[in-house]
Amino acid sequence: MSTANATATRGRPKSTAKKAQIFEAAVNLFLEKGFDGTSMDEIAERAEVSKQTVYSHFRSKEDLFSYCIAEKCVSYELSPEFLDLERPVDQMLRVVGRKFTDLLHSDDAIHMKRLLCASAEQSPVLSELYYEAGPKHMIDLLTDYLRRQAERGRLKLDDPRTAACQLLHMFLGETHLLRLLNLRQTVDQEAVNDYVDACVDMFLRAYR
């Protein structure tokens, strides 16, 4: 059991490895079975850790849950680098569409969204975290890209944010809803790609 702790205290330091194990177990269980459907005993068992250790790292179940969601949200942050202003707009938007739908139709993202919808009533704080790291961040990136391309005269639009919302929400389409409702276990990648292409074509016909 290797151990590392930043602040030097007396006695045996808390194992960051154990904390990671707990997080890993908890996040997977929460995503699979929801908050209410997951028990602390289950988490401890899957983490191969005693229940007391779970409570020594996290004050309560809610606490652990928040930690999991917050941690997960961080991983959703997309880097803006891939939005290349030099590439042809249609090509670039197709790439964006593919990346975006890949991410959003993934099991992980679907489970996450379900979880947040379910917990939205009790804790909008977590929704906030998710929204900022995920959807809002993506909209901001695309808005910026569209504005710049408009300035270059490659697109004709006066409200880049509205346009970004339109395109991204179109991308989601029926597949996303079907996945969310658990009516599709697998994604027909080809069909999604065709749909994305159709959206880009349509978008560009409208915005030059």
Partner DNA sequence: TAGATACTGAACTGATGAGTCTAGTAATTC
Partner DNA sequence: GAATTACTAGACTCATCAGTTCAGTATCTA
Name the residue nearer to DNA (CB basis): 33 or 94: 33
124 touches, from a copy of itself, DNA, none (C-beta below 5 to 8 Å by class) = a copy of itself
Task: Give the separation between CA 41 and CA 47, rounded to whole angstroms.
Answer: 10
Residues between 33 and 92 that touch DNA (CB under 7 A) = 38-41, 48-53, 55-57, 60-62
Give the three-state DSSP class for 117: helix
The answer to whether 131 contacts a copy of itself (rule: CB under 8 A) is yes
Name the residue nearer to DNA (CB basis): 62 or 159: 62
- Whole-angstrom CA distances from 45 to 32, 51, 122, 207 are 16, 8, 27, 55
The answer to whether 131 contacts DNA (rule: CB under 7 A) is no
The answer to whether 183 contacts a copy of itself (rule: CB under 8 A) is yes
52 touches, from a copy of itself, DNA, none (C-beta below 5 to 8 Å by class) = DNA
Q: In the structure encoding, which two tokens stand for residue 129, read together?
A: 């975290």
Size of the site for a copy of itself (CB under 8 A): 43
The answer to whether 130 contacts a copy of itself (rule: CB under 8 A) is yes
Task: Give the separation between CA 177 and CA 183, rounded to whole angstroms.
Answer: 9
1 touches, from a copy of itself, DNA, none (C-beta below 5 to 8 Å by class) = DNA
Task: Give the separation between CA 13 and CA 7, rounded to whole angstroms.
Answer: 9
Q: Shortest Cβ distance from residue 115 to a copy of itself (Å)?
A: 8
Task: Give the separation between CA 154 and CA 164, rounded to whole angstroms.
Answer: 15
The C-alpha angle with vertex 130 and arms to 128 and 131, in degrees rounded to 5, equals: 65
Nearest to 123 by CA among 206, 67, 181: 67
The C-alpha angle with vertex 195 and arms to 191 and 201, in degrees rounded to 5, equals: 145
Contacting positions for a copy of itself (CB under 8 A): 32-34, 36-37, 113-114, 116-118, 120-121, 124, 127-128, 130-131, 135, 139, 159, 162-163, 165-166, 169-170, 172-174, 177-178, 180-183, 195, 198-199, 202-203, 205-207
